Structure 1
Amino acid sequence: MEKVQAILENEDYVVTIQNGKHTIISDEPENLGGKDKGMNPHELLCASLASCTLATLRMYAERKNWKLGTIIIEINFKEIGENGAKKAHFLRHIRFEKSLSSEQRERLKHIADACPVSKILKSGENIIETYIA
């Protein structure tokens, strides 16, 4: 089981997040009363999806001996409200340094959708939309 501890001390919305080995800071932007010292919670959610996707793609490519070069991912997030219920809509745009065949691109899109964080997010009422460039 993964474990993360988050601590909010005296500075408005500055949250220290630790897992025992690593520490990151989360904060709200200044227009929401924060000090903008770190990513906000929605950005951290996007970062989790991005890092999991990239690691999953790299692992798959290594097994296939595909040389992808640098992989760049951009995640856009928005909340969608329907009848008082909120859903998350993630737009995931992935770019590869190396040229890929259409078959490779389609397979990598499928692999991106299969990363563990994608599966968790899609298991609820969330939408993850993936585009490969």
Structure 2
Amino acid sequence: MKYILETPIKGILGAQKYKTIIHWRNGILISDEPEKLGGRDLGPDPYTLLLSSLVACTLATLKMYIDQKQMDISEIEIEANIYYKIESGETVAYIDRSVRIGSPIDPETNQKLLLVAENCPISRTLKGNINISTSVIK
């Protein structure tokens, strides 16, 4: 098996309720829950981190395509949010993502950019089958 990341993401939860220190290849970031859930809101919560991955990947993928096609698009803005619905007795997650292009584009280009956004690697991962294997290390 070949991992995507050279170094795994490592999170450490200490004495402060919900404050998590996440180590990544170039440093650390803090994740925390909002105050209304008992945290101190010192960093993004897990849902914010998940949606941030989708937004960042979508933007990078669109930028690569725009650069490759030498399009004159100066700015792209993406918003994303998540909600749950009960369908046939099961909880189903829905993510709404909107893309705003800062330059006027024709309908054909608009459709192509939407298709590129839908196919960014994180979109494909979230839409595909995900298997999570968890083990306890002593």
Q: Which runs of 4+ in 1 moved over 4 A?
A: none
Letter in 1 for 2:90: A
Whole-angstrom CA distance in 2 between matches of 1:41 and 1:102: 35
1:69 matched to 2:83? The reply is no
Match of 1:93 in 2: 98
Distance across 2 between alignment mates of 1:67 and 1:7:
44
- Where in structure 1 are there 5+ consecutive unaligned residues? 126-133
**1:59 is matched with which residue?**
64
Q: For residue 123 of structure 1, what is the aligned residue in structure 2?
A: 128
1:25 is aligned to 30
Q: CA deviation at 1:87?
A: 2.2
Shift of 1:84: 4.7
- The reply to whether residue 36 of structure 1 matches residue 2 of structure 2 is no
Distance 2:106 2:14 in 1: 51
- AA partner of residue 8 (structure 1): L
Give, in angstroms, the shift of residue 83 of structure 1: 4.5
Describe the SS at the equivalent of 1:104: helix
1:9 paired residue among 11, 14, 28: 14
Structure 1 82/124 Cα, relative in aligned 2: closer, same or farther at 3 Å? farther
Question: Over residues 32-57 of structure 1, what are the superposed CA-to-partner deviations in whole Å (9 max), with x where a residue is unaligned?
Answer: 11001111111111000000000000
Q: What is the distance in 2 between the residues matched to 1:6 and 1:83?
A: 35
State percent identity of aligned pairs: 37
TM-align CA RMSD: 1.5
Q: Which of 1 and 2 has greater Rg?
A: 2
Q: Secondary structure in 2 aligned to 1:12?
A: coil
Structure 1 length-normalised TM = 0.88
> Alpha-carbon deviations, 1:42-76, whole Å to 9, x = none?
11110000000000000001100012111111001
Q: TM-score, normalised on structure 2?
A: 0.85
Specify the SS of the correspondent of 2:29. strand
2:51 maps to 1:46? yes
More strand as a share of residues = 1
Aligned to 1:128: none
Alignment deviations for residues 1-20 of structure 1 (CA, whole Å, 9 cap, x no partner):
22211111111001111113
